Homo-oligomer: A and B are copies of this chain.
Amino acid sequence: MDTGMTDHDDATALITRMGKAARAAAIELAQASAEQKQAALIAAADALSRDQARILSANDKDMQFGRDKGLADSMLDRLRLDPDRLRGIEDGLRAVAGQPDPVGEVVAEWDRPNGLHIQRVRTPIGVIGVIYESRPNVTADAGALALKSGNAVILRGGSESLHSSQAIHACMAEGLRQADLPETAVQLVPTRDRAAVTAMLQAQGLIDVIIPRGGKGLVGLVQREARVPVFAHLEGICHVYVDAAADPGKALNVVLNAKTRRTGICGAAECLLIDRAYSQGPALIQALLDAGVEVRAEGELAKIPGTVPAEPDDFGREFLDMIIATRLVDGVDDAIAHIRRHGSQHTESILTEDDSAAQRFFAGLDSAILMRNASTQFADGGEFGMGAEIGIATGKMHARGPVGAEQLTSFKYLVTGDGTIRP
């Protein structure tokens, strides 16, 4: 009667079965033509458009389940689909279909003195696992990017969105069928059982990389427990540093945008560092206050009326809200030292007209994205021109920054000789 154990065994068996099917599909998918993958994505978009009523009614079931479960309004909003949002998902599929196909791209080639010709070409990674929370659109977005890059994918959506995800997944399967590609190239874990997540995290040899999409709780769990590589960022503790040589107009615009455009995304600024030698600091703080931001200030800045005193742990904290921590620093080196201590290697921006300060900031920090005179809110695959992104990574292995189709590839060397032997 040890149901925990039984669940675990069932989940492991399920994921092993799905993983083997994915591995087999991946071999086929790796050799599919660009046109075939494109056709599958377009057919999936067509199916999505045709099946609108069925998807919305599946979503109604999830919404009812969510309301019964007492989900917060913000969670319900993420879960909700409507014709507009469905059109967005459909457009996303068509956009990915239209992107260049990364597989087979010759990344580098050269000749050797002995006549060997060497090419380095992109190949799919293999099998990708995506673990996400309530947004059902990830089913289509992640499925499409994996397919585009020739990878099989195992999707494990939030338990609240199971019906919606299944309805969207059916459209992906329809697209694969129409393009004569194996349906098992995009699989959705058909259970709400959390043991399936654990089984995915431990599926070495069956899943090559796990991408978690969701809050810090989910990402932290995945990073701690995964036995397979993970592309993720735990937190986006983004810093904006206003240098002595900042243009005050640009600084004002960028700081306000970086903090307030959307506060809940990982590229939102959480900490404002102001050079002690910058004269317009108080005006900047005032503008934030006027915009309704809670400004948690340290030292001199805390004397500005309307600010609240910062606690030490406000630095290095991801507020995801209309709150910002701020302090004065002594020039760019001090800013770098602060960011190295408190940052999360996601995105930082320097405001300056001084090339050498910008140069120092770019060289002295090692975040995935460093910006000059630009808002941290641009930390996004779409804004980078990558089409779509499956997430943003802060690790230094393989993928970093916005992860698009290209970064879901590996490579192999193709070497051509003419009976060439090694002396």
Contact = CB atoms under 8 A, between A and B. Distances in A.
Contact of A373 (B125, B412, B418): B418
Contact of A396 (B116, B125, B257): B125
Contact of A377 (B126, B261, B422): B422
Given A229-B229, A358-B416, 5 more contacts: A27-B340, A30-B366, A372-B415, A374-B419, A400-B410
Instruction: Tell me the interface secondary structure of chain A in the complex.
Output: mixed
B126 A396 contact: yes
A367 B413 CA distance: 8
29 contacts: A112-B384, A116-B374, A116-B383, A118-B385, A123-B396, A126-B396, A249-B419, A251-B419, A253-B419, A253-B421, A257-B421, A257-B422, A362-B414, A367-B412, A369-B415, A370-B415, A371-B414, A371-B417, A374-B417, A375-B420, A375-B421, A377-B422, A378-B415, A383-B422, A384-B413, A396-B410, A397-B397, A400-B413, A401-B413
Contacts of A251: 419
Contact of A412 (B250, B369, B377, B416): B369
Contact of A400 (B208, B385, B411): B411
Interface in A203-225: 208-209
A141 to B, nearest CB: 20
Contacts of A375: 417, 420-422
Interface string A141-176: 000000000000000000000000000000000000
A368 interface: yes
A376 B417 CA distance: 11
A99 interface: no
Contacts of A366: 30, 123, 412
A419 B383 contact: no
A220 to B, nearest CB: 14
A418 B254 CA distance: 10
B116 A416 contact: no
Tell me which of A123, A229, A396 has the highest count of chain B C-beta atoms within 10 A of its own C-beta.
Answer: A396
Given A116-B374, A419-B373, A421-B261, A412 B400 contact: yes
Most chain B Cβ neighbours within 10 Å, of A208, A369, A374, A414: A374
Size category, A interface? 35 or more
A416 B31 contact: no
A292 interface: no
A85 interface: no
Interface string A379-423: 000011100000000001110110000000011111111111110
* 10 residue pairs, one from A and one from B, having the closest CB atoms: A250-B419, A374-B417, A257-B421, A396-B410, A377-B422, A398-B398, A371-B415, A374-B420, A369-B413, A375-B421
Contacts of A396: 123, 125-126, 208, 410
A298 interface: no
Nearest to A123: B366
A256 B413 CA distance: 23
Interface in A64-82: none
